[in-house]
């Protein structure tokens, strides 16, 4: 060793730290954090983590938007229920329909059978159009196919009694249930209009025929009947039975026609154009 050199301080020459200092510092930090957490819990303030806040905001469903058409359909449904209970309101609304229908299809009360047929045609035409607008025929067909495809697998899983098989089918069943709910809601929208028109036009037909007395006798199926008399032991007049015979087949025919028309137009819009190279081929 040279005389001018000084020995380097060794690690061993440093004063050793007290064995409990680091632990005390960590303990103090932990105690401070726990005290802050306890004070926050006592005050009722819980600070969420940023990741939890982002996840909750991402999973939050969007707020439902107001649809005027849905409001009108719900209003018509409850109005129909009120008309069914209150005869005065039912007759007043039917009178409003009569102000429009009587000059067009009333014929002065001379052709009651034709008037009933045209009234049934108007009722079923409007309800068929509304039902066709509110119904997604493609979605309905897809739901039926999905339900038919998943039903055998569901029955096998139930018979096996294994939970893992049921858990594997749960996402498919949830998706099917959501789509079935959409189909059901669309059908209820069409039924609201059908329910309202059914009560209103049936009431108007009854009031219109009653106003034609005593000229309410017609020939039906080779027999002379009074439209206001009851059908034997059945407490319902003949006009109600005849009008129902008009409405039921018209409803089936018109709904099937509009369904076929809508699907045909959709298929034509989604059809592929012919190949340009094939058009010039001999």
Q: What is the pLDDT of residues 191-247, one digit of tens each?
A: 888 889 999 999 999 999 999 988 898 988 888 899 999 887 888 899 999 999 999
How does residue 129 score in pLDDT terms, banded at 50, 70 and 90? very high
CA distances from 108 to 55, 103, 144, 216 (A): 70, 8, 49, 13
Least confident among 84-93, 101-110, 164-173, 269-278 = 269-278
Structure confidence by residue, pLDDT tens digits, 54-111: 444 445 555 556 567 778 888 888 888 899 899 999 999 999 999 999 999 999 888 9
CA distances in angstroms from 128 to 121, 125, 147, 187, listed in the order given: 10, 5, 26, 12
Q: Which residue has the tokens 């027999």?
A: 223
Query: pLDDT by residue (tens digit) across 3-48?
Result: 444 444 444 444 444 444 444 444 444 444 444 444 444 444 444 4
Please give the Cα distance from 105 to 84 (Å, whole number): 25
The pair of structure tokens assigned to 26 is 């960590």
For residue 240, the Cα-to-chain-centroid distance in whole angstroms is 32
Residue 65 is predicted with a pLDDT of: 64
Name 280's Cβ contacts closer than 8 Å, sequence gap at least 6.
Answer: none
pLDDT of res. 133: 87
């Amino acid at each position: 060793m040279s005389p001018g050199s000084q020995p380097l301080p060794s690690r061993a020459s440093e004063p050793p730290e007290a064995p409990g200092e680091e632990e005390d510092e960590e303990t103090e930090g932990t105690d401070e954090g726990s005290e802050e957490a306890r004070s926050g819990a006592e005050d009722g303030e819980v600070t969420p983590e940023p990741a939890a806040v982002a996840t909750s905001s991402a999973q939050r469903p969007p707020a439902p938007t107001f649809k005027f058409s849905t409001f009108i359909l719900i209003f018509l449904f409850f109005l129909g229920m009120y008309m069914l209970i209150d005869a005065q309101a039912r007759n007043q609304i039917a009178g409003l329909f009569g102000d429009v229908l009587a000059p067009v299809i009333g014929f002065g009360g001379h052709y009651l059978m034709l008037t009933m047929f045209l009234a049934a045609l108007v009722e079923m035409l409007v309800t068929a159009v509304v039902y066709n607008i509110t119904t997604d025929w493609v979605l309905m067909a897809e739901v039926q196919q999905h339900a038919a495809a998943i039903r055998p697998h569901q029955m096998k899983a139930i018979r096996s009694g294994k939970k893992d098989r049921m858990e594997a089918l749960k996402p498919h069943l949830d998706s099917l249930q959501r789509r079935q709910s959409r189909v059901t809601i669309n059908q209820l929208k069409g039924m609201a209009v059908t329910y309202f028109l059914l009560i209103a036009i049936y009431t108007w037909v009854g009031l219109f025929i009653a106003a034609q007395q005593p000229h309410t006798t017609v020939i039906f199926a080779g027999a002379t009947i009074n439209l206001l008399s009851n059908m034997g032991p059945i407490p319902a007049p003949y006009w109600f039975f005849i009008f129902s015979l008009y409405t039921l087949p018209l409803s089936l025919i018109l709904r099937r026609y509009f369904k076929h028309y809508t699907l045909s137009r959709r298929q034509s819009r989604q059809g592929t154009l012919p190949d340009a190279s094939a058009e010039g081929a001999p």
